[in-house]
Structure 1
Amino acid sequence: MKKLYFLFILITSLNFGQVTKNVYFIGNSYTGQNNLPQLISDIANTTGDILNFQSYTPGGSTLQNHAADNVVLNTINNGYWNYVVLQEQSQIPAFSTSFVNSQFFPYAEQLANNIINSNLCGNVIFYMTWGRKNGDTQNCTPGSYLCTYEGMDDKLYERYMQAALDNESMVSPVGKVWRYIRTQYPSLELYESDGSHPNYLGSMIAAYTFYTTIFKKDPTTASFNGNLPHSEADIVRNAVKNVVYQNMDVWYINAHDINTKFNYQFTNAHSVQFTNQSSNATTFHWEFGDGIESNAENPLHTYNADGIYNVKFTTNTCGRSTTKIKKVNVGSLETAEAQKPISKIYPIPAKDILKIKSHKKISHLEIIDISGRKKDCKIIFKNDEYLISIKDLNPGNYFVIYTVEGNSYSEKFIKE
């Protein structure tokens, strides 16, 4: 009897804190190389955690390819995933601003929206890759930042961070850990002979970075070395701890891994319509930053004075209570209108297609009716314009809600 009791205590202690995550990896050969998802699973096994995964990694694939691939879309739509990892083709996010605005950000947003809408308790992780060993020699022109590892790596960092910010997603900063190790341990080789793909050590860096991002645990508590010497595996674990685990807020791992979401729009200079965007929420609590609170799902709140207010919205969603905080800048309507980044919205009234021109990149775009309900409208980006299909909307007044550089704006239009 004592032996059975001891065995029960041992099993209980071994399983304490066990975490299971279901993750879908979408990418190309950078993810497929050395079977990255399996390496992450092997690491998790040493801490008693479980990674259930699927992956889709055709060589050279882009997010644009994936956004039109029924295999990807059907798997996302299973609604099974805690996280879906998005990895772009290795060069694209480092290209010019105009290129990434048309070829990277729109498809990152399209996939992210699909993931969030289909997986009510899931989230997106962007796989931040690394600069090529000697820069992007295929696209290097004299004086271009693409000609060096550092220049290319800086742009990849900038674009993946922007994608995560725009889509309220997380970043697995593999490229930053690579850079740390390249700087601190220059004798260690991370690349295959092509100067692009990861060798086994490079993939282990990626695996430990993802383990820490997904499970939010100290990587030095894991013991999987794979084919690495113990000393190299320790270098990887400690590097990931320094760059990722001790700086999780930097990579939005805490801030964006929540299920509470909301948006807002000004109805006049001081009145704000707040709209819950959380899925399956059972309770709602708003703190508007001026001492007033509400338990309504979609409250309309009027501020008595100009100012910047921290609005806190707490819901019980997906079995846990989480809080989202946004800054709301309340001021004169004329000032707010003058600062809006949309340069043209037409035709007004509109019948079938609403067109929007903006002199800044729009990271989030949706249509809501006057009661705050989101409407399902197809949105495409073409020839520097956003085209929104509104032919299925009933005639009446609607709002375009959009986000630029982390700030939310609204435009009213009429559907005829």
Structure 2
Amino acid sequence: MKALLLIVGLCVSANTLFATEPLKVLFIGNSFTHMNAMPKQFDKLAKSLDQKVLVEMEAKSNHTLKMHCARPELFKTINSKKWDYVIIQPFSRELIFDKDSINEATIPYFQQIMDSIRANNACTNILLYETWGYKNGFAERNDTDSFDEMAMKIENGARYIADTFDLAIVPVGMVWREIVNKHPEINLFDADEHHPSPIGSYLVASTFYAAIYKRSFEGAPTTVYPAEQMKTIHAVTYKYVLSHIDNCDLRKNTFFITKTESNPTTKRYKVSCKSYFKNADSLVWDFGDKTSSKYKFTSHSYKQPGTYTIKLTVNDECGVRVYEQDVYFPAPPVRKKPTSNKKP
């Protein structure tokens, strides 16, 4: 598993993201998932940015998790592959009610789906897909009769589920709210004012890309939808996800390598290394210069410029896994000797 780090201070996460095999991602949800072929948009976006990924979905219109649990096809798909990520989208309106209602309508079925995922592969990363409020809220309740009020209720419900199961949240709904309130020229809603428009589904796919890969959208195509709108979605999504990475618990089972100093003049070449495998029995950083460290958070200085392969070996309930990432420190430029203008 490899990535190349070229820019000073760039922070890149890596887990199964840099495997030679494609990252296997399964989406489970309803029309908020399958509308406008959102998983396919995620697939195309990731591949356009040189990520190897295999994406499938189990999404049925108007389905709650209870309804999904009655579908043998869902569990057949769950058991069909050793998924790296499974994204679960609860039914939005179930999340606007109080905890007792969520405990009855959602929690048992979320648990059943999670148990099936864990039984198939204990190392699968399960992400909670937080959706958005309707354009004019849900009028049947006084406390959700506006977009912002419904959005906040959904966020609170999603956080309750995430806390219950110790899950990371993909904050689609909050990114959606950022765009709705600050960039109204981008129409995220379909004509029914509930479902996503095509570019709304692109925002969803972009949020998943930022949450899983934690990388910028530099180099992503901007020709599918209006270019300026796509650039705005890229910028807002990346900034929001990265600035809320801890609040959404998106560091789970990742590591970060940051090149903190690259100065050929002073011959200082330094990296910061942080791992977030909280259930690891042991871990070892190999810095590629015959030195190592067993600390979760550490830093290291190199004596010479060049390319170094940093390896992180993690031993946990999933077994022993080795992750690799390259860091590159350029050599100082060669100074040319001044030429003489003197005549012989």
Change (3 A) 1:56 1:93: same
Q: 1:321: Cα distance to partner?
A: 7.8
Map of 2:91 onto structure 1: 89
Map of 1:51 onto structure 2: 53
CA distance in 2, matches of 1:135, 1:94: 11
Kindly report which structure 2 residues correspond to 1:62-77, keeping only aligned pairs within 5 A, or say none.
Answer: 62-77=64-79
Contact 2:215 2:238 in 1 (8 A): no
Q: Does 2:173 correspond to 1:175?
A: yes
Unpaired runs of 5+ residues, structure 1, are 1-12, 262-280, 286-312, 323-416
Contact 1:24 1:53 in 2 (8 A): yes
Kindly report which structure 2 residues correspond to 1:11-410, keeping only aligned pairs within 5 A, or say none.
Answer: 20-137=22-139, 139-140=140-141, 144-218=142-216, 220-225=217-222, 227-255=224-252, 261=279, 283=281, 315=316, 317-320=318-321
Q: 1:207: Cα distance to partner?
A: 0.6
CA distance in 1, matches of 2:115, 2:253: 14
CA distance in 2, matches of 1:314, 1:44: 29
Identity %: 26
Map of 1:398 onto structure 2: none
Unpaired runs of 5+ residues, structure 2, are 1-5, 7-16, 255-275, 284-313, 324-344
Q: 1:316: Cα distance to partner?
A: 7.1
CA distance in 2, matches of 1:165, 1:191: 29
Contact 2:122 2:318 in 1 (8 A): no
1:68 aligned partner, one-letter code: A
Q: 1:146: Cα distance to partner?
A: 1.6
The CA deviation string for residues 52-102 of structure 1, in whole angstroms up to 9 with x for no partner, is 011111110111111232111122123410011111222111123322110
CA distance in 2, matches of 1:212, 1:222: 14
CA distance in 1, matches of 2:128, 2:29: 10
Contact 2:315 2:321 in 1 (8 A): no
The CA deviation string for residues 21-47 of structure 1, in whole angstroms up to 9 with x for no partner, is 101111111111110111111111121
Contact 1:121 1:318 in 2 (8 A): no
Contact 1:28 1:59 in 2 (8 A): yes
Contact 2:253 2:278 in 1 (8 A): no
Map of 2:12 onto structure 1: none
The CA deviation string for residues 95-141 of structure 1, in whole angstroms up to 9 with x for no partner, is 2332211001222222223212321221211111000000012x23x
TM-score by length of 2: 0.68
Contact 1:315 1:321 in 2 (8 A): no
Contact 1:127 1:174 in 2 (8 A): yes
CA distance in 1, matches of 2:160, 2:81: 26
CA distance in 2, matches of 1:110, 1:245: 31
Q: 1:216: Cα distance to partner?
A: 2.4
1:234 aligned partner, one-letter code: K
CA distance in 2, matches of 1:167, 1:123: 12
2:148 aligned partner, one-letter code: E
Q: 1:18: Cα distance to partner?
A: 5.0
Contact 2:99 2:157 in 1 (8 A): no
**Number of aligned residues:** 255
CA distance in 2, matches of 1:85, 1:222: 25
Contact 2:117 2:124 in 1 (8 A): yes
Please provide the CA RMSD for this pair. Answer: 2.5
Contact 1:41 1:50 in 2 (8 A): no
Q: 1:259: Cα distance to partner?
A: 6.1
Change (3 A) 1:238 1:250: same
Q: 1:252: Cα distance to partner?
A: 1.2
